[in-house]
Amino acid sequence: MSNLQNNPSTPELIEEVIGSGLFSFDDESYFSWQGCEHCADGLGAEVYDLRGYRSLESRELHEFHVCCDCINNQYYGETLTCEQQ
């Protein structure tokens, strides 16, 4: 069980990075056939390159492709679509 805590799944790791507030992402999105690494619905999507750390103690930089909806939902706790901003 401790192995799961040390190696979270990609969606869990994205949630930790966004939850830490220690992240940044590009100003412009782009289309990727791989889609969002958080919602991973198997469809292509407009994504942002998101980079960040799990905590202040973490020295490992994590990089993901995340859609606007997932960023909003995880950071603001809202389910706004990108068009509503």
pLDDT tens digits, 41-80: 778 999 999 999 999 999 999 999 999 999 999 998 876 5
Please, are residues 67 and 45 in contact by the beta-carbon 8 Å criterion?
yes
| pLDDT at residue number 40 | 83
If one counts the domains in the chain, the total is: 1
| pLDDT at residue number 81 | 56
Does the pLDDT value for residue 3 go beyond 50? no
Q: Which domain holds residue 27?
A: 2-84
